[in-house]
Amino acid sequence: MGGFLDKVVSSQFLSATLLTFELTVLSMLIGVAGGVLLALAKGGPRTLGWLVDGYVWLFRGTPVLLQLIFVFNVLPLWGLNLSPFTCAVVALSLNEIAYMAEIVRGGLLGVDRGQRTAAHMLGLSEVRILRWVVLPQAARLVLPPTGNQFVGMLKTSALASVVSVQDLMLTAQRQAAADFDYVGALCAAAVHYLVLTTLLTFALRWIERRLDVTRRAAARRDRRPPAAQPGTAALDPTAR
């Protein structure tokens, strides 16, 4: 038991946790950015749409582990020698882009057509419509599944241990191989993963609340000087 607690706070596990976090956040940022671009491209010219379909088909249809080992072992034969960490970021984000493209596409489809039409009538340009009308509404729809992907990525990043990235998983395995305390090492890694996923879940919930327009409006109402008794707020004509 002492071995387990020592491991949880050991510098190896802490720096490994940081690395796992970096790997996750970096892959996820690229994944979201790429996913948005691909989802928008899908709405463009038809050939572009086909290319996007092909991309999603390829990267969603093969295991991430295969993609990772491919990037790590095959690209050097083609003269592209990336560091193990970069390999992991490349493979994880290429895969993530495929999933995010589909999620963002779903979000864009979820924005009512009437919103675009109304914005057109107001004389907004296409870019402005996207920026101020479609994307903010799509973002709310996209956020919960993206959060899901984020938590998933945190765990998928453990695959990077296969290409010698010193993440939480590899650190646990190396520690266990050195002193054979499998219970302690794996449990220590599990604790760190749980801490990360818990923090992430809280952060996502906070963002979700911030993006919730109805809540924001309610908060604004609350900040006004009390015009009447709380119970009659809904009847107060100045409240809207």
Partner 1 sequence: MEPRMTRMAAACLTVVTAVAVSACGGSGAGAPAGGAEITPPTGLVSSGTLTYGTAATFPPFESKSSGGGLEGFDIDMIDALASSMGLRTKALDTDFDGLIPALAGRRTDIVNSAMYITDQRAEQVDFVPYLVIGETLLTPRGNPKKISRVPEDLAGRTVAVTRGAIGETYMEAYNKELRAKGLTTMKIMSLPSNQDAMLAVKSGRADAFDTSTPGAATTLAESDDYSVAATFKNDTKIGIAVRKGDKKMAAALREALDLFVRSGDYTKLLRKYRLPAETDYFGAAKSASPSAGSASASASAGS
Kindly list the residues in this chain that would bind partner 1 in the complex (CB under 8 A): 73, 76-77, 81, 84, 162-164, 166, 170, 173-174, 176-180, 182
Closer residue to partner 1 (CB): 126 or 179: 179
Q: Which residues of 14-24 are buried (b: 16+ CB within 10 A; e: fewer)?
A: eebbebbbebb
Residue 74: CB minimum distance to partner 1, A: 9
Closer residue to partner 1 (CB): 98 or 188: 188
Closer residue to partner 1 (CB): 135 or 162: 162
Residue 163: CB minimum distance to partner 1, A: 8
Residue 27: CB minimum distance to partner 1, A: 20
How far is the C-alpha of 14 from the C-alpha of 187, rounded, in Å?
14
Closer residue to partner 1 (CB): 56 or 64: 64
| Contact predicate 17/168, CB 8 Å | yes
Residue 187: CB minimum distance to partner 1, A: 14
The label of the residue with tokens 């499998």 reads 182
Closer residue to partner 1 (CB): 166 or 197: 166
Residue 85: CB minimum distance to partner 1, A: 12
